[in-house]
Amino acid sequence: MKEFKIAVLPGDGIGPEISVQGVGVMSAVCEKFGHKVSYEYAICGADAIDKVGDPFPEATFEACRKADAVLFSAVGDPKFDNDPTAKVRPEQGLLAMRKKLGLFANIRPVQTFKCLLHKSPLRADIVEGADFLCIRELTGGMYFGEKYQDNDKAYDTNLYTRPEIERILKVGFEYAMKRNKHLTVVDKANVLASSRLWRQIAQEMAPAYPEVATDYMYVDNAAMRMIQEPRFFDVMVTENTFGDILTDEGSCISGSMGLLPSASTGESTPVFEPIHGSWPQAKGLNIANPLAQILSVAMLFEYFDAKEEGALIRRAVDASLDANARTGDIQVEGEKACSTSEVGAWIVEYIRKA
């Protein structure tokens, strides 16, 4: 028996709706395997700005810090997106959470589902069998470097230090060892000094992992290769900005952003979240795809070496797809779309009967 203390951050937009489904699945699995689980709910994003003026208030940080893991959903609201003068934004809460918890590694699996190959914008023969990890450095680079802006000039500093690069590359090499022993380091070393340091350090570290085939790829080439030959990749590691862009590109391979989970890990409490945003236009409509949130729960269990629990969730998701218990974004033509809550209830019922 394990005991889990989970901080739940539903956030904005569709966040609360998909959060309910993730919590429901986690509770069902814990009941099935005899684990104890407790939840502490906390505010973040636009919701927190409206309530306390801070997108990641201290009370939320404390709830996260004391938890075993954070189940996070989404942040973002158009009223901030459409106001370029806004000094406080929901996304600042996400950055603050990563920084305060020391979450320097974002792990995003990219995989295809056989029954959904037709949903990918790429040909089925290109994407079938694609299964790789994007590992993105989360707390350095331009997002956190020195910034300046006036009416005539602006800059963002892409600063990286050796310890920051070494620790994320170590994550990349270790994941490659667990998978197919192939690591691709993505940079722009022909132009950027920061990338040249990344490549130098990666070349220094590679001999310590002789079983891993390590290759190096410029980010523009990597973006093209992901579309032309996604099965080439096993584990990809890169810096913050490149990783942000490439992981969103990778999400299209599966056919829907609503299918892919992620984990952010590092010095403190790990965070598990879907890769998609808050989709404010769908707020309250009960139409959002909860599978990425539910698969984030699978990643949570697997992080704590509860592999059977994670595997059961993955089987339940596969079964729901096979049974056409799907939201509208991935439903088969001619079949009735299920609501967010109906998909969640179907998966919970499968877990209880398994």
CA dist., res. 59 & res. 57, Å (int): 5
R_g (Cα) of the chain, nearest Å: 20
Element holding 228 (H helix, E strand): helix 219-228
Q: Which residues are annotated as catalytic?
A: 143, 188, 220, 244, 248
> Are the CB atoms for 314 and 297 separated by under 8 Å?
no
> Are the CB atoms for 222 and 236 separated by under 8 Å?
yes
Q: Which amino acid is at 264?
A: S
CA dist., res. 188 & res. 195, Å (int): 5
CA dist., res. 236 & res. 221, Å (int): 13
The region that residue 164 occupies, defined by phi over 0 for left and psi between -120 and 50 for alpha, beta otherwise, is alpha
Q: Tokens standing for 62? A: 């404390």
First CA to last CA across the chain, in angstroms?
18
CA dist., res. 98 & res. 240, Å (int): 12
CA dist., res. 92 & res. 156, Å (int): 16
Using alpha carbons only, what angle is made at residue 21 by residues 19 and 22, rounded to the nearest 5 degrees?
65
> Are the CB atoms for 70 and 271 separated by under 8 Å?
yes
Q: Tokens standing for 125? A: 């023969």
CA dist., res. 46 & res. 152, Å (int): 30
